Amino acid sequence: MKKYDTVVFDFDFTLVNSSKGAWQSINYGLKQLNFDEVSEREASQTIGLSLQDTLWKLVGVQDKDTTSKFAIFFREKADEVMHELTTFFPKALDTIPKLRKAGYRLGIVSTKFRYRIEKILRRENLFDFFDIIIGGEDVTNHKPNPEGLLKAISYFEISPDNVLYVGDSKTDEKTAMNAKVDFCAMLTGVTSREAFEKSNVIQYSCDMIDLLEWLRG
């Protein structure tokens, strides 16, 4: 098995379950704009997308003015509920320190705002295990554009060949492909194993312990 120096994670549905907070924030934004509310499952299908793509996927609207208003309302509600309603997958809490102890450098690249990620990590005493966190406010182009992942690679000053990107969605898969790094599909989100393009996935993991055991060989 190929050895990696660095493991970079997506955040939502890879390390944490943020579906309830996202659902409430999405519906708050939709309601303020007089759109119908959506189910939690429908909202979960958009986690990891930019807010612009979220609005397009849910209601088919993409004009700049409406998208900007939706983003303002979403963030207003998310600032109120996201921290409390986001929970780490239990095996992630235990495995992150073990990955660090095993010598891996760790990073996060997500469309979620960095300040929210940092707040959640600090709550669980996990912040210091990560070398770099790149959130939605740190890039001009969101995933699947590789800008965020390439920034992380540049920070680590290593070849993309030594990086593994771990994510739960097709967007994450495309991001890794665009950055020319290996991709591990984490099956903790709403994307099924069959939905991923087999040729783009070096490993499927059902949880973080499964990932750690695979990395150890």
Q: What would the pLDDT profile of 142-170 be if each residue is shown by its tens digit? A: 999 999 999 999 999 999 999 999 999 99
pLDDT band at 4 (very low <50, low <70, confident <90, very high): very high
Q: In the structure, what pLDDT confidence band is assigned to residue 1 with cuts at 50, 70 and 90?
A: low
Contacts for 21 with CB less than 8 Å, ≥ 6 apart: 78, 81, 82, 83, 84, 85, 86
Q: Which CATH architecture best describes the domain 19-83?
A: Orthogonal Bundle (1.10)
The segment(s) of the chain belonging to CATH 1.10.150.240 are: 19-83
Structural tokens at position 206: 């059902």
DSSP, collapsed to helix, strand or coil, labels residue 159 as coil
Residue at 11: amino acid letter: F
pLDDT mean over 52-78: 95
Q: Distance between CA 186 and CA 192 in Å, rounded? A: 10
Query: What's the pLDDT at 94?
Result: 93
Q: Give the separation between CA 129 and CA 154, rounded to whole angstroms.
A: 19
- CATH number assigned to the domain covering 6-17+87-216: 3.40.50.1000
The predicted model gives 115-133 an average pLDDT of 97
Q: What is the pLDDT of residue 174?
A: 97
The mean pLDDT value for 31-37 works out to 97
Structure tokens at 174: 């495309």
Query: What's the confidence (pLDDT) of residue 217?
Result: 86
> What span, in angstroms and rounded, lies between the C-alpha atoms of 147 and 130?
19
The number of C-alpha atoms within 13 Å of 160 and in the hemisphere containing its C-beta is 13
Whether 59 and 87 have beta carbons less than 8 Å apart is answered as no
Residue intervals of the chain classified under CATH 3.40.50.1000 are: 6-17+87-216
| % the chain with pLDDT above 70 | 99
Upstream peptide bond of 144 is cis (omega within 30 degrees of 0): yes
